[in-house]
């Protein structure tokens, strides 16, 4: 592989939560959620993270976005450890790494007009200036009409809401987008629109995209490198086609076997 300069990286990250004390004088046990995780994303690259529920996907995301401090290991943004960075570097990190969540209906405030919701990150990240131009720019990028700004979330369909959520994440001009199951709450015909949009954004804005999902075929379509996580460890990393045609780890095999396709269903080999 040629010289890679990851934009956002996790190095040997371990995270454990302590369990409730079972006896008065014995030390409480702990539960290791992530163990020695290495994970990174470069600019203009889409990487996938797949695993069953409970594998540690969410914890990894929380650490990657700086919402949680790992017990050991480093989270590097642009080469700087975010937990020992100075204030300007932290502010820069906060602006540059944005998230898109699974269900746009619950991640957008129902009482807030879309325009206000889109300005929210600018307010909370204390980004100064006139944001109207930026609003229009972002709406164009995600393919929404300007009239959307005056409307409320309930007036939109799921697919449009997810576009709005993506637009909100794009507002501070981030360099990395972390999308946690961005299409699993959407209808099939809409799912394709949002996946195509994410792909375009990576290409056009030179964004780093971290795509978390449980559906392998969706991840394979969107990303160029996939990490498989199982019980807190990365068990396999590779190009999607490699992974899914020749899985080496048993956990990857499990996930691959679980994929149902129309073809396998019709030929009677699915179940």
At 139, give phi and psi (nearest 5°): -60, -40
Quote the least distance from Cβ 235 to another protein, whole Å: 14
Is residue 248 part of the contact set for another protein (CB under 8 A)?
A: no
Which 20-49 residues touch another protein, going by CB under 8 A?
46
Choice from 241, 246, 248, 250 touching another protein (CB under 8 A): 241
Choice from 11, 92, 141, 224 touching another protein (CB under 8 A): 224
Radius of gyration over alpha carbons of the chain, in Å?
Answer: 20
Is residue 253 part of the contact set for another protein (CB under 8 A)?
A: no
Q: Could you tell me how far CA 83 lies from the centroid of its own chain?
A: 20
Is residue 145 part of the contact set for another protein (CB under 8 A)?
A: no
Is residue 7 part of the contact set for another protein (CB under 8 A)?
A: no
Residue 258 CA: distances (Å) to CA of 99, 132, 183, 215: 27, 46, 18, 9
Is residue 182 part of the contact set for another protein (CB under 8 A)?
A: no
Nearer to another protein by C-beta: 14 or 224? 224
At 267, give phi and psi (nearest 5°): -85, 0
Site residues for another protein per CB under 8 A: 46, 52-53, 157-160, 187-193, 195-196, 199, 214-218, 220-221, 223-224, 239-241, 244-245, 254-255, 257-266, 270-271
């Amino acid at each position: 592989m040629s010289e890679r300069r990851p934009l956002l990286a996790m190095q040997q990250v371990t995270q454990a939560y302590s369990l409730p004390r079972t006896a008065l004088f014995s030390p409480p046990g702990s539960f290791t959620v992530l163990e020695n995780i290495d994970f990174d994303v470069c600019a203009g690259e889409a990487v996938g993270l797949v695993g069953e529920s409970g594998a540690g996907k969410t914890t990894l995301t929380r650490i990657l976005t700086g919402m949680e401090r790992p017990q050991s290991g480093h989270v590097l943004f642009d080469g700087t450890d975010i937990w020992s960075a100075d204030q300007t570097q932290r502010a820069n990190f906060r602006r540059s790494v944005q998230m898109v969540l699974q269900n746009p209906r619950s991640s957008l405030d129902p009482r807030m007009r879309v325009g206000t919701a889109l300005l929210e990150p600018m307010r909370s990240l204390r980004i100064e200036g006139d944001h109207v131009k930026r609003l229009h720019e972002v709406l164009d990028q995600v393919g929404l009409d300007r009239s959307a700004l005056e409307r409320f979330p309930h007036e939109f369909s799921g697919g449009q809401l997810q576009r709005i959520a993506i637009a909100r994440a794009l507002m501070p001009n981030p360099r990395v987008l972390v999308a946690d199951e961005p299409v699993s709450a959407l209808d099939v015909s809409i799912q394709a629109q949002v996946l195509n949009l994410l792909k375009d954004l990576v290409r056009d804005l030179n964004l780093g995209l971290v795509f978390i999902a449980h559906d392998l075929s969706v991840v394979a379509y969107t990303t160029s490198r996939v990490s498989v996580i199982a019980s807190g460890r990365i068990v396999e990393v590779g190009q999607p086609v490699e992974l899914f045609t020749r899985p080496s780890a048993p956990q990857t095999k499990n996930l691959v076997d679980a994929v149902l396709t129309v073809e396998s269903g019709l030929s009677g080999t699915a179940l």
